[in-house]
Amino acid sequence: MSIDQATIDAHGFSPEEYQRLLEILGREPTITELGIFSVMWSEHCSYKSSRLHLRRFPTDGPRVVQGPGENAGAVDIGDGITAVFKIESHNHPSFIEPYQGAATGVGGIIRDIFTMGARPIALLNSLRFGEIDNPATRRLVDGVVAGIAGYGNSIGIPTVGGEIAFEPAYAGNPLVNVFCLGVAKADALAMGVASGAGNPVYYVGAKTGRDGIHGATMASAEFDEHSADKRPAVQVGDPFMEKLLLEACLEVMRTDALVGIQDMGAAGLTCSTSEMGARGDAGIEIDVALVPQRETGMTPYEIMLSESQERMLLVAQRGREAEVEQVFEKWDLHAVRIGEVTGDGLLRIRDQGQVVAEIPNRPLADRAPLYDRPTTRPAYLDDANHLDLATLSPPADPRRIWLDLLGTPAVASKRWVYRQYDHMVRTNTVVLPGMGAGVVRVKGTERALVFSLDGNGRHCFLDPAEGGRLAVAEAARNVACAGAVPIGATNCLNFGNPERSEIMWQFSQAVDGIAEACRALDVPITGGNVSLYNETDGQAIYPTPVLGVVGVLDDVTHVLTRVFPEPDLEIVLLGEPAGGLGGSEYLKQAHSLVRGTPAPVDLDRERALQALLVDAARGRWIRSAHDGSDGGLAVTLAECCVESGAVGAQVDLPGSVEMDERFGVVQALFGEAPSRVVVSVATGQRERLLSGARERSIPAVVIGRTGGDRIRLAVAGEQVADIGLDEAEQVWGQGLTRHFEAVASKEA
Amino acid sequence: MKFAVIEFPGSNCDHDAYHATKHVLGQQAEFVWHKETDLRGADVVVLPGGFSYGDYLRTGAIARFSPVMGRVCEFAHAGGPVIGICNGFQVLLEVGLLKGALLRNNRLKFLCEHIHVRVEQTDTPFTSGAVAGQVLTLPIAHGEGNFYASPETLAALEANRQVVFRYCAEDGAQSDAANPNGSAHAIAGVCNVGRNVVGLMPHPERACESMLGSADGRVVLESVISTLAATGAA
């Protein structure tokens, strides 16, 4: 049967792409082949709009064990152990069905990690929603948080932190990015590769259903008839099944009877078979009739494109089938042999013996479309970058603004969220959520892994290149604030429609910024994810790259958190006192403006600062360290006091010659700038810290002392604001909770 | 001293219990897979937390039928010390070794945080090293920890001094605010009439190293070690 033009169009092929398909096959495709090409060449699987740009990332370094291209990246952390990590988005599914969308996102990223042979030990997430007082937001937040909790808690991997922000730009397109970290013995990494003709190909895990088949609009007659109306749009997660898969897969990897393994994520069987074959330069032949199915009457097309969750594809050594099967039996799973590796380089799909697709593997992967899409600097920037303080009135009462900022969702305690996550299971969580970067010890060593996710859509909206640099710098700085050396990165690039040149410009700029900062700070990108088309009715999200940086703390007892540990310690500001107001939380909160340009990062200074922090932690010169971020130093200092066990502070912030006459105090209190950290100094260690800073040309000044039951702030000797610790705890503690608990009590 | 850590499909605190008993407290510990029927000469049985069988039916409802549970019951009936933590507590309730039930938390959400419990009874093998009224800081991590029992059962539990742990404030005082999940009588843990079987929602095994925020859970595991040492059982 010939494929008609409507079917080709419905599968999203451009005429050039279809021509290329014909060249590769040398004939017309079957409907199954069309489906396979369609998903493999989709934006999601082929990265056709972004691949060209992603090449600019630094991906190599002495510690990199596995760069991009595998299921996850890996870096060497010493003692013969590698850290395996990756971030991924599940934005679109989470908008349609928040609980399952988020849950299956967590399930997917966990599979990516254990597929590499690593035991997953920690999860983080980065979430973006519309304005918090929008009722639709609350429903989404409730569902997404419950979905992340439902999956992570059940499978027993702690969710140890993350970030959450609320901006109108995300109202129609929330972002759900999830990060997973695992550890593996350096010599035990598994790969998603199929090789060795005659080796058996196994299918393990949940049965295949019609869930998550993309392009449900496909318009072939046989399609409508059989299934078009039956396809549920959302996949459903089963963390229990995944727990069994996790344990069984890790156990089977220890037998060395395994050649390769890959999870069936996006594009399910299609992606796993063709990618494993392409990596191993081999062919794979399977019979879809052997695939365990939970629905009747599924076509080969549907089986190949299903995105049912919790499924794995394995290639085992021929002759060792029994060993592999026994391990899965122990876990009440059945490894089903569905085919074998071949030497002909073809992806051959049979249905009860009859060939329904036969595609050369390498060209399917290697000749995927690649676009250099046009870029244009967006017109909005000229206006948005223009910030004229003369048109604004400085606040009459800085204290009021300070409290407002402490209670704003971006700043306030995220306890309402993280207490729903089991963040302590596996007994490695050294730093509880909300106290700084995620820190998990690595049992059997003295070390800990430290990691942080950061990204600021407002910054990227105003200057995507700078926003990219700032995101890398902040994530790495958060890792360094815990005392760890940043050694690797992953990123999730969330943008709008790449076919719009303004969006593509944002993307390209952000990539440039990220690449530059990763190079400067020595954190190669080892993998990640791109999520495009995050827009509704032509309204794109803020360009939002989320950076995950992973670091190593050689001695876990050196770990630092944000809080002042006790009274009577000197407080030192590392970095420039003056901050900018462009794109700041202050401007949003006090003037409802997203304007200006974010203060730029000096990457040499940043690198030096992070090195100083690591030395200061190692030398025990400092007792706490907290990155100055949203809300400026006033907020940073308050964050050093809340949850500290009632340690207040008295601080005098230096004035600056660059201070605006009217906004000087505001800039000192609420201005934002990178490369700034507030530390409390160990008794008797001030001079070592200050001379360490001098050697690295980092401004450092004693700004006050810890203690008392208030937080008192002066600027250039003049007292400007003062709040009681109780009030600060109350406002900060309730800032997020009050929006959600109010709803809960109404429902109850 | 040898601890058997029972593993059900879906157990996820099994490694935590193993780590605490073996590496922190220096005892022998072994995993016992739920399909086994041999406790391998263990002196203490630990039913760890997690989501046995996914808990799709009712928490702990299927785990009770695991082959190993028959052996665990025999062990308990013979007076052997058994502790069920979180999901393990739920399994002990389902199998009938303990009385009561656990409902969804009264605020309906999963809760993970450090809370305080008061040790109410010190004549169980798991609390013998504690002082009556001692307040422990322990983590909880559950969505269904709201202890429920009929008024008669509650009265009997109280009368027989079977309430071993009660939620409280840092100073030991009881209040609704200090009861995280709405448990009847603020019950966090109970024992059987024979006092050798203890179940509790908080996780003592997660609180054995101060690096993790609290080491107050050690007293629970250390108690059973010294109890058995004193009786010469191991």
Q: Of the given ranges (A51-55, A198-202, A226-230, B23-27), which has the lowest mean pLDDT?
A: A226-230
**A268 burial level (CB within 10 Å; 0-12, 13-18, 19+):** buried
How many CA atoms does the CB half-sphere of A687 hold within 13 Å? 1
| pLDDT band (50, 70, 90) for residue A746 | very low
Which residues of chain B neighbour A156 with C-beta distances below 8 Å?
A: 12-13, 50-51
- Kindly determine whether residue A331 and residue B9, on different chains, have CB atoms separated by under 8 Å: yes
A495 pLDDT higher than 60: yes
Contacts of A424 in chain B (CB under 8 A): 112, 139, 141, 203, 206, 212-213
CA distances from A404 to A398, A638, A735 (A): 10, 12, 9
pLDDT of A125 over the 70 cut:
yes
pLDDT tens for B59-89 read 667 777 888 999 999 999 999 999 999 999 9
Between B52 and A446, name the one with better pLDDT.
A446
The vertex-A306 CA angle with A302 and A308, nearest 5°, equals 145
Residues of A designated as active site: 44, 90
- pLDDT, chain A, mean: 92
Region A546-573 average pLDDT? 98
Closest in A419, A425, A441 to B13, CB measured: A425
Contacts with B, A 271-330, CB within 8 Å: 330
Report the pLDDT value the prediction gives residue A744, as an integer from 0 to 100: 47
- Segment A700-709 shows an average pLDDT of 98
Nearest-CA neighbor of A423 among A440, A445, A404? A440
A422/B contact by beta carbon, under 8 A: yes
Residue of A nearest to B141 (CA): A422
CA distance to partner chain B, nearest, from residue A443 (Å): 9
Per the CB < 8 Å rule, is A155 touching B12? yes
Enumerate residues 6+ apart whose C-beta is below 8 A from A504.
A49, A373, A374, A375, A376, A498
- Report CB contact under 8 Å: B13, A429: no
Of the candidates A674, A681, A675, A673, the residue with the CA atom closest to the CA atom of residue A702: A681
pLDDT over threshold 60, residue A612: yes
A181 vs B: CB within 8 A: no
- pLDDT over 60 (residue A229): no
pLDDT exceeds 80 at position A232? no
Residues of A in contact with B208 (CB under 8 A): 427
**What pLDDT is stored for residue A734 in this prediction?**
96
pLDDT in tens, A663-692: 999 999 999 999 999 999 999 999 999 999
Instruction: Please give, rounded to a whole number of angstroms, the shortest distance from the CA of B120 to a CA of chain A.
Output: 26
Predicted pLDDT at A658: 63
Dihedral of alpha carbons A301, A286, A364, A46, sign: positive
**Residues within 8 A of B (CB atoms), A 234-273 only:** 238-241, 243-244
Q: In A, which residues are within 8 Å of B111 by CB distance?
A: 419-420
B16 phi, psi to nearest 5 deg: -70, -45
Chain B residue nearest residue A426, CA to CA: B16
Taking contacts as CB-CB distances below 8 angstroms, the residues of chain B near A154 are 10, 12, 51, 54
Taking residues A192-214, report their average pLDDT: 89
Give pLDDT, residue A660. Answer: 73
Q: How many Å apart are CA A273 and CA A342, to the nearest integer?
A: 12
Which positions in chain B have a beta carbon within 8 angstroms of at least one beta carbon in chain A? 9-10, 12-13, 15-16, 19-20, 23, 33, 49-51, 53-56, 107-113, 139, 141, 143, 203, 205-206, 208-209, 211-213
Does the distance separating the beta carbons of B112 and A744 come in below 8 Å?
no
Q: What is the pLDDT of residue A230?
A: 39
The predicted structure's pLDDT at residue A225: 39
SS3 string, chain B, reads: CEEEEEECCCECCHHHHHHHHHHHCCCEEEEEECCCCCCCCCCEEEECCECHHHHCCCCCCCHHHCHHHHHHHHHHHCCCCEEEECHHHHHHHHHCCCCCEEECCCCCCCEEEEEEEEECCCCCCCCCCCCCCCEEEEEEEECCCEEECCHHHHHHHHHCCCEEEEEECCCCCCCHHHCCCCCHHHEEEEECCCCCEEEECCCHHHCCEHHHCECCCHHHHHHHHHHHHHHCCC
For the residues B1-12, what does the mean pLDDT come to?
A: 92
The answer to whether residue A468 scores a pLDDT higher than 60 is yes
Residue among A246, A424, A643 with most chain B CBs within 10 A, to mutate: A424
Report how far residue A533's alpha carbon sits from residue A496's, in angstroms, rounded to the nearest whole number. 4
Angle formed by the axes of helices A603-618 and A464-481, nearest 10°: 10
Left if phi > 0, otherwise alpha if psi is -120 to 50, otherwise beta: which for A12?
A: left
Is A442's pLDDT higher than 80?
yes
Residue A265's pLDDT band (cuts 50, 70, 90): confident
* DSSP state at residue A89: E
B110 and A149 within 8 Å at the Cβ level: the answer is yes
- Residue B57 confidence (pLDDT): 62
Beta strand pairing call for A81-89 and A73-78: antiparallel
Q: Is the pLDDT of residue B214 over 80?
A: yes
Position A748 confidence tier, pLDDT thresholds 50, 70, 90: very low
Q: Which chain B residue is nearest to residue A152, measuring alpha carbons?
A: B12
Residue A405, token pair as written in the block: 């900022």
Work out the percent of chain A whose per-residue pLDDT is above 90.
Answer: 83
Whether B113 has a pLDDT exceeding 80, the answer reads: yes
What pLDDT, on a 0 to 100 scale, did the predictor assign at position B58? 66
In the prediction, which pLDDT does A190 show?
86
SS3 state at A314: strand
Q: What is the average per-residue pLDDT within A220-239?
A: 52
Could you give the residue numbers annotated as active site of B?
86, 203, 205
Helix, strand or coil, per DSSP, at residue A357: strand
- Confidence grade of residue A456 (pLDDT, cut at 50, 70, 90): very high
What's the mean pLDDT when you consider all of chain B?
Answer: 94
Give the residue, A16 or A216, on which the prediction is more confident: A16
Of A240, A425, A556, the CB nearest to B53: A240
Question: Is the pLDDT at A279 greater than 70, yes or no?
Answer: yes
Question: Is the pLDDT reported for residue A215 higher than 90?
Answer: no
Matching residue, tokens 């109306």: A229
pTM: 0.94
Chain B hits for A425, Cβ within 8 Å? 12-13, 16, 49, 141, 206
pLDDT score at B64: 77
Position A365 scores a pLDDT of 86
Which residue in B has a C-alpha nearest to residue A415's C-alpha? Answer: B113
CATH of B2-231, one of 3.40.1180.10, 3.30.9.10, 3.40.50.300, 3.40.50.880: 3.40.50.880
Q: How confident is the model at residue B55 (pLDDT cuts 50, 70, 90)?
A: low
